Amino acid sequence: MLTVETRHAVSQAETKTLDTEGLRRAFHAGGMFQPGEIRLVYSHYDRMIMGGAVPNGKALVLDHVKECGTASILDRRELGVVNIGGSGRVSAAGTDYAMEKGDVLYLPMGAGPVTFAGDGRFYILSAPAHKALEARLIRIEDAKSFRTGSAETANDRTIFQFIHPEVMQSCQLVVGYTQFHGGSVWNTMPAHLHDRRMEAYLYFDMPEDRRVFHFMGEPQETRHLVMANEEAVLSPPWSIHCGAGTGSYTFVWAMAGDNVDYRDVEVVPMGALR
């Protein structure tokens, strides 16, 4: 079963007028990981697609998505898959990829239908592509990683870069995830902007009663969304994106836009936030 929800772009001026429910309708995405289903969110921010596939004992095939306007989703797109669950398998273009929790798979334009199977909980990310590249399965030991932050500032964390120029080539999709160490809860602070790229966050590895307060909006007009486990947020190019949790968690970050330069950001001074 395939379900697709479309999210249109929302301006800074409109965002200032939204109440909590309005903000959640525009930027929050929950319920993507349903047993036996593929659920996608088609965003008008750089045409990013995010979603979940949970085979739950039967194979699920991702192929035609009406919103893409092509016969098959990868006819003019590239796709990243992050397994946030148990052992699973993803198949495309005649190749099977066995994926454990934490593995990331890149599938290029032209790879055809994608089949999900096993006990995985697959987080799907896709952006338009301009050429066919090499498919690649990237395990956590093959990712580029670095530890940053400190316990004193509650942001001691390790950043793992998977679909990233220093690991592999993609057209515009950049994907990785960040894991926090005990006692640390703050992500992406000081906050920053990157007007040339949108971003999406998926928060996971959280107990049922844990929450992350995700901050968004213009630096002088901040808003927040309360995020539960396996919920995602769309971050427009004009918005900050940072957060703090009630305990440690992991989040997948994904970007699409004009470039793949991870360092192309404008840091927002703490004193500028309102």
Binding site per annotation, positions: 192, 194, 199, 241
Say how many C-beta atoms besides its own lie within 10 A of residue 131's C-beta.
Answer: 10
Kindly give, in sequence order, each residue whose CB lies less than 8 Å from that of residue 108, ignoring residues fewer than 6 positions away. 74, 78, 129, 132, 133, 134, 135
Sign of CA pseudo-dihedral 107, 109, 111, 113: positive
Whose tokens are 């995985």? That residue is 120
Measured in degrees and rounded to the nearest 5, phi and psi for residue 6 equal -100, 135
Within its chain, how far is the Cα of 116 from the centroid?
18
Beta strand ranges found along 131-235 (DSSP E): 136-138, 144-148, 157-163, 174-180, 186-187, 192-193, 197-204, 212-218, 221-227, 231-235
Assess contact for 162 and 253: CB atoms under 8 A. Answer: no
Q: Give the pair of three-digit tokens for residue 265.
A: 């950001």
Instruction: Give the three-class secondary structure for 193.
Output: strand
Which residues contribute to the annotated binding site for Zn(2+)? 192, 194, 199, 241
CA dist., res. 101 & res. 223, Å (int): 32
